Chains A and B, each alone.
Chain A
Amino acid sequence: MVSLESFGLVGDAGAVSTTTAPLAEVAASNSTLRAFLHGLPGVDRVGADARAAMLGTRSIKTTAKKQAIDLAIRMVDLTTLEGADTPGKVKAMCAKAVHPDPTDSSVPSVAAVCVYPDLVATAVQALGSSGVKVASVATAFPSGRSSLEVKVADTVLAVAAGAAEIDMVIDRGAFLAGDYLTVFEQIAAVKAACGSAHLKVILETGELSTYDNVRRASWLAMIAGADFIKTSTGKVSPAATLPVTLVMLEAVRDYLRTAGRKVGVKPAGGIRTTKDAIKYLVLVNETAGPDWLDPDWFRLGASSLLNDLLMQRQKMATGRYAGPDYFTLD
C-alpha cells in the first residue's frame, strides 16, 4: 500500500475506506470483496440486450421530445480529450458549453466540460461563474497503467487547478485478474485526493467485456466511494452501449436501496445523435426511475452530440432543418 502522506493528503487509504461509503466492511479483504461481488445476481446477456432494445423502441414525440432535448443538453459533459488539445481549443469549447446556440438564449448550458488535467485552469477561467462545471480526467487516463502515486498526483493536480469533478479510470488489469482490493484501494485513495470534488469512476466496460463484470465493477466503485459511475473513456470500442448502461442503472438503483446512497451514471463515447440520447433518457426513466433524470445524477459524455441536439431543437421550434454550417464547430 502506497503512503499518501507524501502527497500532502490527510489520512491514509485504509482510514478512507472505512469512512467513505456504506458496505465498506465488504472491503475488509480481497476474499470478502470477491465473495460479495460474486454473490450479486448474474446478468443474462440475451435478456439485458432484449430489454435495452425494447426500451429503444419507445416513441418520444412532440412535447416529450422537446423536454428530452433540453434535458439532454443540460446533461452533456462536453468533452475534448485529445493530444492536440490547446488552451485555444478549450476556450472555444467553454464558450460553446455556456451558450450552445449563440442565436437562441433559451438553450440551456451544458452540465460540464471535460478536459485533461493540464487544461483545467484554462477551462475554469473561461467558464467563470457560468455555472458550467469543469471535469477533468485523471489517474493516467485512459489506460490507468501507472503507479498509485502518479494517479493520486494526477488527481491532486486537477483538483488544485479547480476541477469540480474528477473522471478516474479503474485498473482493468487488476479487476480482470481478480484483484478487487487493489481496484478498491485505488478508487478510495483517489476519492480522498478529490476532497470536495465529485468522483466519477470510469469502468471502461468495453474492456470488462461481460455484463457480470460490469455489474461487479459498478458495485466495487460505489462501495469505494464513487459519486458517479461512468461507462467508458471513449478511447476503447465499444464505448457506451444501451445494455451496459442498463446494467449500471440497475446497479445504482439497487445500491440506493441497499446502502442508502445515491450514485449517478454517465454513459460516454459513441452517443452522437438526439435519437441515441433520448434512448438513454428512456432507459433512465424506466430503470433507475425519474429521480435520476437530472444533470446531478445522469450525464452524457459526448462532443458531437450537442450539435445534433441543437439541430433537432431548432427543427422542433421552426419546423425546418438548418444546414450544419449554422451550428458552430468548436
Chain B
Amino acid sequence: MFEYAPAPESRDIVDIKPSYGLFINGEWVEPLGEGRDKTINPASEEVLAEVAVAGEADVDRAVQAARKAFTVWSAMPGSERAKYIFRIARIIQERARELAVLESLDNGKPIREARDVDLPLVAAHFFYYAGWADKLSHAGFGPSPQPLGVAGQVIPWNFPLLMLAWKIAPALACGNTVVLKPAETTPLTALAFAEICRQADLPPGVVNIVTGAGETGAALVRHPDVDKVAFTGSTEVGRMIARSVAGSRKKVTLELGGKAANIVFEDAALDQAVEGIVNGIFFNQGHVCCAGSRLLVQESVAEELLDALKRRLSTLRLGDPLDKNTDIGAINSAAQLAKIRELSEAGEAEGAERWSPTCPIPDKGFWFPPTVFTGVAQSHRIAREEIFGPVLSVLTFRTPAEAVEKANNTPYGLSAGVWTEKGSLMLWMASRLRAGVVWSNTFNKFDPTSPFGGYKESGYGREGGRHGLEAYLAV
C-alpha cells in the first residue's frame, strides 16, 4: 500500500487575534453593546477568536459611515475606483496562502480547495469588476448609469471570502459603499479583508464589516438608510428578507437554496461524469447552494455508473482540512451536522438505501462521511429538501423528457448539470431546464465573467459578469 504521509499546511502563516471589534469607517471599534461571540475551528472545536456582536446602534454607525463615504466614492472617476479595486485584488493574491489557511481553519474546508478554488476566484472577481469600474457606460445600462448608494450585504458561511468578493467587488466598481455582515461561524476572512482595505488605503467607510448573527443581519436589512440589500443564504431567511424590505425603495438580490439535478445520459463520458458527480456533491462537503445533490442517471447505465461512483468514493480522503491531501473536510457547525443527520435519517426511514465508503471519522469536530442514497423517489424528503451536506440522492430516468420533468420538479432552480457526448441533446436539455446555470459535461465551475443566480425559490438577480452590475446600478 502507498500511504500518503501527513502533509499539513502550516498555520503559522496566519495571525489570529484573540478578539476582534467591528470595522467601521476604516477603524476597528468596539461594539456599543456587550455582545461577544466565539468562532471555532469545526475540525477540532478549538476556539479561534472572540468576535463582536453588532447591535442595532452599531449597524447604524456602519450605515452612517457608508453613507458619508458614498459622497466621496461615488463622485470619484471610475478609473480611480478601479485603482483601489485592482490594488485589493493584488493584495489578495499576495496574501492568498494566508487567507486560504484562515478560511480552512474557520470553515473546515480542505486547504486544497481553499487554495486552488476559493482564493483564485476571489482575486479573479476583484480583478474582473475592477475592469468594469471605468467602463460602466458600455455595460448596456445607458450612457451614465448611477450607483444605488449604501449596500447592506449578508453572506453565508460556505464560501466566506468568495461570497464577500461576489458582493463587494461589483458594489464598489459601480460606486456604491457597503456594510457587510459575514456569517457568525466564519467571520475571520472578512475581518482579514477589512485589514486588506486598510492596506489598500481604501477611503474610510467605503467598506464596513459588522459581525454578528441573524439579529445583526436583520438590523442591517431593515435599516432605513440602506438602498440595496444583497443576501446569499437559505431560502427561509431569504423569504424573511423579502418580507422585511417589501414596500420600501430598497433594491434586493437574493441567492438562495438549491436542489440541483446532475443528469447523466447513457452516452456520457462515464469516468468524467463520475468525477463531475463527486465534484458536484462532495466539493466543499456539499455546502454549496448549487450542489448537484440529485443524481439523475439513465437506467441503462445506472448500475455501471453507481459501481464506478462507489469505487471512486472509496478513494476520497476525509480528515484534517489543513492536510494538503484531504478531499473532504469538516462540516461547518454542530447545527449543520444535526440537520444533515436528521435528513439522512429521514432518507432511511422513507425507504431509500444508504451507502457510505468505510472511512475513519476523527474523534473531535463535526464530520459526516460521503453518503449516497439509492432507490430515492421524487416524494422522499432527501429528493426535495436541500441537505447542504455530502449526501447524494440517486434517481433514475428512462428518456430525456422524463429527465427534464424530474429535474424541474423542485421549487428550486439554481443549477443543473448534463452529461452527454451528444451536442444536440445537450442543447435540447439546456433549453428546457429551469435553472440559472446549466453545466455541460462539468459541474461547479465558476468564473467572474459568468452570471450566476436562480429561478423560482432559488432567488432573484444575477451575480457575476456584466449582468452582475445591474444589481448595483440605478437602472
Closest approach, in angstroms, between the C-beta of B125 and any C-beta of chain A? 21
Partner-binding segment picked from A28-36, A46-54, A129-137, A320-328 = A46-54
The residues of A that contact B335 with a CB separation of less than 8 Å are none
Pairwise interchain contact B5-A44, C-beta atoms closer than 8 A: no
The residues of A that contact B269 with a CB separation of less than 8 Å are 41-44, 47
The reply to whether the CB of B71 lies closer than 8 angstroms to some CB of chain A is no
A42 to B266, CA, bound (A): 11
Closest approach, in angstroms, between the C-beta of A285 and any C-beta of chain B? 5
The residues of B that contact A44 with a CB separation of less than 8 Å are 269, 272, 421, 441
A327 to B102, CA, bound (A): 43
Pairwise interchain contact B325-A59, C-beta atoms closer than 8 A: yes
Pairwise interchain contact A48-B272, C-beta atoms closer than 8 A: yes
Given known contacts A58-B325, A59-B325, A60-B7, is B2 in contact with A43 (CB within 8 Å)? Answer: no
List residues of B (435-449) whose CB comes within 8 Å of A's CBs. 441-442
| Chain B contact patch, size range | 20 to 34
Pairwise interchain contact B272-A61, C-beta atoms closer than 8 A: no
The residues of A that contact B5 with a CB separation of less than 8 Å are 60-65
The reply to whether the CB of A263 lies closer than 8 angstroms to some CB of chain B is no
List residues of A (196-214) whose CB comes within 8 Å of B's CBs. none
The reply to whether the CB of A286 lies closer than 8 angstroms to some CB of chain B is yes
B314-325 near A? 1/0 per residue, CB < 8 Å: 010000000011
The reply to whether the CB of A140 lies closer than 8 angstroms to some CB of chain B is no
Across the interface, name the chain A residue whose C-beta is closest to B112: A57
List residues of B (87-146) whose CB comes within 8 Å of A's CBs. 112, 116
A60 to B325, CA, bound (A): 9
Closest approach, in angstroms, between the C-beta of B90 and any C-beta of chain A? 24
Pairwise interchain contact A64-B2, C-beta atoms closer than 8 A: yes
A62 to B5, CA, bound (A): 7
Given known contacts A47-B276, A59-B324, A68-B2, is B7 in contact with A286 (CB within 8 Å)? Answer: no
A106 to B56, CA, bound (A): 71
| Chain A contact patch, size range | 20 to 34
The reply to whether the CB of B349 lies closer than 8 angstroms to some CB of chain A is no
Closest approach, in angstroms, between the C-beta of B269 and any C-beta of chain A? 4
The reply to whether the CB of A281 lies closer than 8 angstroms to some CB of chain B is yes
Closest approach, in angstroms, between the C-beta of A102 and any C-beta of chain B? 28
The residues of B that contact A62 with a CB separation of less than 8 Å are 5
A209-253 near B? 1/0 per residue, CB < 8 Å: 000000000000000000000000000000000000000001000
Across the interface, name the chain A residue whose C-beta is closest to B304: A41
The residues of A that contact B271 with a CB separation of less than 8 Å are 41, 43, 47-48, 51, 250
Closest approach, in angstroms, between the C-beta of A282 and any C-beta of chain B? 8
Given known contacts A47-B442, A48-B271, A286-B315, is B116 in contact with A57 (CB within 8 Å)? Answer: yes
The residues of B that contact A48 with a CB separation of less than 8 Å are 271-272
The residues of A that contact B315 with a CB separation of less than 8 Å are 286
The residues of A that contact B218 with a CB separation of less than 8 Å are none
Closest approach, in angstroms, between the C-beta of B327 and any C-beta of chain A? 9
The residues of A that contact B270 with a CB separation of less than 8 Å are 41
The residues of A that contact B267 with a CB separation of less than 8 Å are 41-42
Across the interface, name the chain A residue whose C-beta is closest to B271: A250
A57 to B324, CA, bound (A): 8
Q: List 16 A-B pairs, Cβ < 8 Å.
A: A44-B269, A44-B441, A46-B442, A47-B272, A47-B275, A47-B441, A48-B271, A57-B112, A57-B116, A57-B324, A58-B4, A58-B324, A61-B5, A61-B7, A250-B271, A282-B2
Q: Which residues of A contact B (CB under 8 A)?
A: 41-44, 46-48, 50-51, 57-65, 67-68, 71, 250, 281-282, 285-286, 290, 293
